Chains A and B, each alone.
Chain A
Amino acid sequence: MRPNDHAVVNLGGIRKEISVALVSDVKVGDYVIVHVGHAIGVIDPEEAQRTLELFAQMEALAQAEGNAP
């Protein structure tokens, strides 16, 4: 975190200073969604996991049916 609501993000190895003035309660280690140099949202790790689990169920379903393409 830097002064004036700024923060440094790591974007696949690239370090870039962005503004976090538009989001509340961000802390070091959070994953944010950056749009035109501003964080506009914070990723909810639990919800991300839930969506991935939904995909995993699909995989299980495909295997159970034995008709995976």
Chain B
Amino acid sequence: MKYIDEFRDGDLARQIGARIVAEAEPGRQYSFMEFCGGHTHAISRYGVLELLPPNVRMVHGPGCPVCVLPIGRIDLAIRLALERNAIVCTYGDTMRVPASDSLSLTRAKARGGDIRMVYSAADALATARANPQREVVFFAIGFETTTPPTALAIRDAQRDGLANFSVLCCHVLTPSAITHILESPEVRQLGTVPIDGFIGPAHVSIVIGSAPYEHFAEEYRKPVVIAGFEPLDVMQAILMLVRQVNQGRAQVENEFTRAVTPEGNLKAQALVSEVFELRPAFEWRGLGTVPYSALKIRSAFAAFDAERRFQLAYTPVADNKACECGAILRGVKRPTDCKIFGTVCTPENPVGSCMVSSEGACAAHYTYGRFRDQA
């Protein structure tokens, strides 16, 4: 496919790898966080790590949407289906995330909940149109990439006067999560998570642009290189980060210029700010409660806000004790540091959220990396 195959060329990847080996200074340790789950997946799937020298290490970040979704929010969606008889529509990955009482949305569906997997927010809207006698709730999760389609669905629902559609909004923001990681004690004081730079997300940056990252580069002196999701993009971004560290620079650079501009997608941004406003606080799995890190529906669209419509109250629920997802999401631990990785917790039967989505650090390592460990 055009614009994909060219960016997966193995020979070129090896050449970029050789440049990284040549330019990474032997006495120095380089530690870069790929924030986004799409990059975590690409790094594991294409064996990017094997082309890096031992002193260049990648740390997985918390940018996998279902991984950071706390149990309490999934419980809300399950209760809407089981106790309020609503049709709950959601993205496929969300279906299998473990929740309270040994339930997940999939298991709640088996118990009779009308829970439907949809491909887009527009499909949830279509479900509401097709079932006018039922309440239809779209369980909306994700970063800045899935937020504009949700905003569009809410705006269209209002325009068409749809009375049975609402959204349980769990949309979260990338820049606040990066700030939270940089401010965390592990990074700031303890030094247990050395981060010398970030690979900036691909699709998120298409929407928000490259400008929002300037703050991290300036304030925290961390280079950021925005990269596409193909393996050559990731390799090139790592090389650009190594060069910035060597030269003592901390700037925002854009490797993904074919899709990312400094200002981003202004049309999508305008729609998002019309429908949503900042939430003062939101709980993330792994990161805890992060101020101003998520969105809620503006009062002008209150009729489409499931939290208001059903008067939902959020209760935080602790993760499974054996699960290390929290530490893995903060970059403190690796998937293999978790006792239940690959034994009790597998993609078929996930205990923690990082094992659910293909973008999760544990699922990516289980699928593509676990045999490499034994080699």
Contacts and interface: CB of A to CB of B under 8 A. Distances in A.
A54 to B, nearest CB: 7
B203 A40 contact: yes
A22 B15 contact: no
B12 A36 contact: no
B187 interface: no
B265 A36 contact: no
A33 B12 contact: no
B18 A69 contact: yes
Contacts of B259: 33, 41-44, 47
Contacts of A47: 257-259
B168 interface: no
B2 A54 contact: no
Interface in B44-84: none
A32 to B, nearest CB: 9
Interface in A13-69: 19, 21-24, 31, 33, 35-38, 40-45, 47-48, 50-52, 54-55, 58-59, 61-62, 67-69
Mostly, the A contact residues are mixed
Residue among A23, A38, A42, A67 with the highest chain B CB neighbour number at 10 A:
A38
Q: Size band of the A side of the interface?
A: 20 to 34
Interface stretch (B114-122, B280-288, B290-298, B333-341): B114-122
Interface of chain B, main secondary structure? helix
A3 interface: no
Contacts of A59: 11-12, 15
Contacts of A11: 1
Nearest to A48: B258
B152 A33 contact: no
B255 interface: yes
B267 A62 contact: no
Contact of B15 (A12, A51, A68): A68
B148 interface: yes
Given A22-B152, A48-B258, A51-B258, A68 B18 contact: yes
B120 A62 contact: no
B139 to A, nearest CB: 13
B206 interface: yes
B6 interface: yes
Interface residues of B, number: 40
Which of A12, A24, A62: most chain B Cβ within 10 A?
A: A62
B367 interface: no
B158 interface: no
Contact of B236 (A40, A54, A69): A54
B12 A40 contact: no
A40 B122 CA distance: 14
Contacts of A36: 91, 119-121, 142, 145-146, 149
A30 to B, nearest CB: 11
Interface in B182-207: 203, 206-207
User: Most chain-A CB neighbours within 10 Å: which of B3, B152, B259?
Assistant: B259
Contacts of A35: 145-146, 149, 203
Nearest to A41: B206
Contact of A58 (B2, B6, B16, B119): B16
B18 A12 contact: no
A44 B228 CA distance: 13
A21 B122 CA distance: 11
B214 interface: no
Contact of A22 (B142, B149, B233, B255): B149
Interface of A: 11-12, 19, 21-24, 31, 33, 35-38, 40-45, 47-48, 50-52, 54-55, 58-59, 61-62, 67-69
Identify the 5 closest CB pairs spanning chains A and B, nearest first. A37-B120, A41-B206, A48-B258, A47-B257, A47-B258
Given A22-B267, A38-B120, A55-B9, 8 more contacts: A19-B149, A33-B259, A38-B152, A40-B206, A41-B203, A51-B258, A58-B15, A62-B18
